[in-house]
Amino acid sequence: MSTIFDVAREAGVSITTVSHALNGFSDVSEKTRQRIVEIAQALDYYPSAAARSLQRRRTDTVAFAPLLRGHIESEPFFKEFLGLLTLSAFRHNLSLLATIAYTPSDTNQIFRELAGSGRVDGIIVADIKPQDERIGLLGSLDIPFVAFGRTADYEDLYYPLVDVDSRAGIRAVVDYLVGKGHQRIAYLSGPFNTSYSLHRYYGYLEGLKNHGLPVDERLVIADLQEQSNTTEAVAHLLSLSDDESPGAHPTAILAANDHLALQVIQELQDRGIAIGSESGSGSGSIAVTGFDDLPFAAHVQTPLTTVRQPIAAIADILLSLLMSIINNRAGSKKRVPPAPDTIKPDHDGQLSTRGQGKADVHVKWIGPMQALVEPELVIRASA
Amino acid sequence: MSTIFDVAREAGVSITTVSHALNGFSDVSEKTRQRIVEIAQALDYYPSAAARSLQRRRTDTVAFAPLLRGHIESEPFFKEFLGLLTLSAFRHNLSLLATIAYTPSDTNQIFRELAGSGRVDGIIVADIKPQDERIGLLGSLDIPFVAFGRTADYEDLYYPLVDVDSRAGIRAVVDYLVGKGHQRIAYLSGPFNTSYSLHRYYGYLEGLKNHGLPVDERLVIADLQEQSNTTEAVAHLLSLSDDESPGAHPTAILAANDHLALQVIQELQDRGIAIGSESGSGSGSIAVTGFDDLPFAAHVQTPLTTVRQPIAAIADILLSLLMSIINNRAGSKKRVPPAPDTIKPDHDGQLSTRGQGKADVHVKWIGPMQALVEPELVIRASA
DNA sequence: CTGCTGTTCCAAAATGTTTTGGTAGCCCAA
DNA sequence: TTGGGCTACCAAAACATTTTGGAACAGCAG
């Protein structure tokens, strides 16, 4: 492999000049630059990435560091997100280093090493919990980061984040269902150990409240971990017959994510219960909705009414935000957060993601570097 | 951030000794090593990744470089593979740098830069075509690589690869269908522009031949690019009525991948045609099979009979193979390919993937560094 | 006392860039 | 003719490691 020395020798100039020529400095004549570029090409010269980042203190790599609870296989959203984040990183000219942690202490170790070794320029954390030690840790490690999700104290403990407005998403579902005549809406969720699952639940409560509907504890099940739990849960809901307690039987089941919704649909189908809300609330059919709009949602037996998270756009915003932080702190010690327009949302808070079609994603800036992305209700046959 | 100098100063030794102590060299006394390790920890010292790889000529990063034809969204297998490869890389203590190319010239540029800049230690290429320029290019660039898939001339132009024995997989499907009484089996595929789609087609031909069944050109459609093509194709197959040409109507449709199979199922359902082969061949129902066993396959309306590709295991083998090449060439100029057992398959060609459950994956070594992974027939309701 | 071996340590070179802090020469105004 | 400003270039430092090629010393046999 040829080095910058080879190019310099061949061109009869110093390595400084080669470096400057190749990096677009203005203190090299156009003629010389041309010659150097040609020679570099002829010699098949590419700057050594290692030497470059040693001196520049930049790796052009960011880490993606979720803290997974279950196994990866059981997190379809995770895989989807990872894929789109990878693509987005490529478009930003970044490498993505994915790290997987299952415990907070894993995370701790990983973060320290990433920050200490200068292996990455920044970190994207995900799966934020209401109280999440990682935010504080990253702050103390003094490495640029951005969170996908927010802790309960995101306003006080200020840090850059992107989150989906899950509450609004679920409220939209409730609105829709109520509009379809549903009054008894069950809520199924995994345990409330992440912020987003809590937010979705809040959305459910708010939605009911907005329509003056009571919260029936029997209709809320939030500890679903495995398939078998779901089977039980559905059985339980169906056992709430109108005979024993009038008006107890749910006419709609709101699942906190697509994965769960799919299981519910299968349970209902196994029992021969019709799915959807077309036939009105008295027909015995049950409406089912999900959240995420993962690729399979449109293709399951009864296409799923769900809330779409604009994953590609989220990935893009996360990276843009992170890069803007990284670039700004390189400049000097001024810690002034960049104006939101650095991330180029237009006037009224809209932000169009480049590439990937011009899906219109609505972004609300709730802080200088805190974005709330609006999900979108997608209506299909299941409700 | 503290450097190796800080540690050396604090410990009262030279940086050489610190380096040796931390890297497990034998020429440092146990007492000194202990002290250095403690001091390093106290100082929160982590070696600079950049400086390290500058000197070691190792980045502990590998690139994943598929050459996609369509858009990513339309390649569900790709996303699945990427996710599992990422996880596998993490377990191998590697970073994964994913690059996306849509044209051969993209690829050319990307490869040159990756190899020239020393950005990665090796490259994983995927989506291999029967004639694929990339193999030759990588060889000439003299960078370790491993291919997922094989060119037509993989035996002559020798290079490391992992492939799935798609032919065997499809033959198994044909065997199964014939066993169920099917005689007229249609084949649906995208264009034959990758090796694997060709191999699957060969598997179909071989399967028919094995059972003495004729190949009916009307039952083979291999140019499906979009949803609308599939609609037409299914309409065409259904139009082959028994009235006009006796025995023309297919009783089974063998789709070259799950994505296609799903579309077929939906088309049939839209037309009210029953799916499955339980009811015998005279009942008017049609059996449908796929290939890949992507996560959704088990969850679609009619769970899909398909051929499972052990993606996690494939990712693992690819990385193991690549690492063994990288490590072996570092040693010296001896280009002796490592014995296959370096990749730790046991005696009879089996290889158990660590982590991810002990799925029994069968691997056949068709060359010193060429592995053929056997897929597995998964029988569900659709056939 | 000599030479040999093995243990423990170290100074300096090497890795390939970018950045710093210039210099040389030229033109033009004072 | 002096000084300032501009253009085009460059030597050396800095980045933080690992590797190379020893050296110092102790113990021990002869």
Share of chain A above pLDDT 70, in %: 88
Gap from A212 CA to chain B (nearest CA, Å):
36
* Cβ within 8 Å of residue B85, ≥6 positions away: B64, B96, B124, B315, B318, B319
Ordered per-residue pLDDT tens for chain B, 383 residues: 899 999 999 999 999 999 999 999 999 999 999 999 999 999 999 999 999 999 999 999 999 999 987 766 667 888 889 989 998 999 999 999 999 888 999 999 999 999 999 999 999 999 999 999 999 999 999 999 999 999 999 999 999 999 999 999 999 999 999 999 999 999 999 999 899 999 999 999 999 999 999 999 999 999 888 778 889 999 999 988 766 666 678 999 999 999 899 999 989 988 999 999 865 545 688 999 999 999 889 888 788 999 999 999 999 999 999 999 999 875 433 333 333 333 333 323 334 333 333 457 999 999 999 999 999 999 999 99
Query: With helix as H, strand as E and coil as C, how does chain B read?
Result: CCCHHHHHHHHCCCHHHHHHHHCCCCCCCHHHHHHHHHHHHHCCCCCCHHHHHHHHCCCCEEEEEEECCCCHHHCHHHHHHHHHHHHHHHHCCCEEEECCECCHHHHHHHHHHHHHHCCCCEEEEECCCCCCHHHHHHHHHCCCEEEECCCCCCCCCCCCEEEECHHHHHHHHHHHHHHCCCCCEEEECCCCCCHHHHHHHHHHHHHHHHCCCCCCHHHEECCCCCHHHHHHHHHHHHHCCCCCCCCCCCCEEEECCHHHHHHHHHHHHHCCCCECCCCCCCCCCEEEECCECCHHHHCECCCCEEEECCHHHHHHHHHHHHHHHHHHHHHCCCCCCCCHHHHCCCCCCEEECCCCCCCEEEEEEEECCEEEECCEEECCCCC
Q: Which nucleotides of C are covered by protein (CB under 7 A)?
A: 7-12, 14-22
Q: Which of B1, B79, B119 sits opposite A116 (nearest CB)?
A: B1
Bases of chain D within 7 A of a CB of the protein: 7-12, 14-22
Following CA atoms A345, A349, A350, A353 in sequence, which dihedral angle do they give, to the nearest 10 degrees?
A: 40
Point out the nucleotide closest to A55 (alpha carbon to C1′).
Answer: D15
> What's the confidence (pLDDT) of residue A295?
85
* Distance (Å, whole) CA A126 – CA A75: 13
Measured from the CB, is A34 under 7 Å from any atom of strand D? no
| pLDDT of the residue at A341 | 34
Of B295 and A338, the structure prediction assigns the larger pLDDT to B295
pLDDT, one tens digit per residue, over A10-37 is 999 999 999 999 999 999 999 999 999 9
Mutate to test the interface with B, among A3, A95, A120, A288 (most CBs of B within 10 A): A95
Q: Chain B, 38-57: which CBs lie within 7 Å of strand D?
A: 45-48, 50-52, 54-56
- What integer best gives the mean pLDDT of chain A? 88
| Torsion over CA: A358, A361, A363, A369 (sign) | negative
Q: Which residue is nearest nucleotide C18, judged by alpha carbon to C1' distance?
A: A55
| pLDDT, mean of residues A113-140 | 96
Asked whether the predicted pLDDT for residue A289 surpasses 70, the reply is yes
Mean local confidence (pLDDT), A204-214? 97
Q: How far is B24 from chain A (nearest CA, A)?
A: 19
pLDDT level of residue A229 (50, 70, 90 thresholds): confident
d(CA A302, CA B298): 14
Q: Which residues of B touch A299 (CB under 8 A)?
A: 262, 266, 296, 300
User: For A53-87, how does the pLDDT look when each residue is reduced to its tens digit (9 = 90+)?
Assistant: 999 999 999 999 999 877 666 678 888 899 899 98
How far off is chain B from A19, nearest CA to CA, in Å? 15
A4 touches strand C (CB under 7 A): yes
Question: Nearest nucleotide, C1' to the C-alpha of B2?
Answer: D16
Cβ-contact B39, B7 below 8 angstroms: yes
A53 touches strand C (CB under 7 A): no
From the list B54, B113, B301, the residue facing A301 with the nearest CB is B301
pLDDT > 90 fraction of chain B, expressed in percent and rounded: 73
* pLDDT band for position A336 (cuts 50, 70, 90): very low
pLDDT of A207 over the 70 cut: yes
Is any atom of strand C within 7 angstroms of residue B27's beta carbon? yes
Output the pTM of the full model. Answer: 0.89
Give mean pLDDT, residues A172-196.
95
A27: CB within 7 A of chain C nucleic strand: yes
The answer to whether B26 CB sits below 7 Å from nucleic acid chain D is no
Name the band, by pLDDT with cuts 50, 70 and 90, for residue A284: confident
Instruction: Test A87 with B99 for CB contact under 8 angstroms.
Output: no
A86 closest CB neighbour out of B82, B118, B356: B82
Scanning residues 77 through 136 of protein chain A, those with a beta carbon under 7 Å from any atom of strand C turn out to be none
8 Å CB contact of B299 and A300: yes
The per-residue pLDDT for range B320-374, each reduced to its tens digit, is 999 999 998 754 333 333 333 333 333 233 343 333 334 579 999 999 999 999 9
Nucleotide of closest approach to A15 (CA, C1'): D10
Which residues in chain A touch residue B267, judged by CB atoms under 8 angstroms apart? none
Residue closest to A314 by CA, chosen among A292, A338, A342, A290:
A292
pLDDT of B247 reads 65
Q: Nearest C-alpha of chain A: how many angstroms from B288?
A: 15
CB–CB contact B300 A301 (8 Å): yes
Nearest nucleotide to B19 (CA to C1') is D18
Q: How many angstroms separate the CA of residue B172 from the nearest CA in chain A?
A: 26
Q: Show residues of chain A in contact with B50, CB under 8 Å.
A: 50, 53-54, 59, 118
Q: Which of B72, B80, B296 comes nearest A87 by C-beta?
A: B72
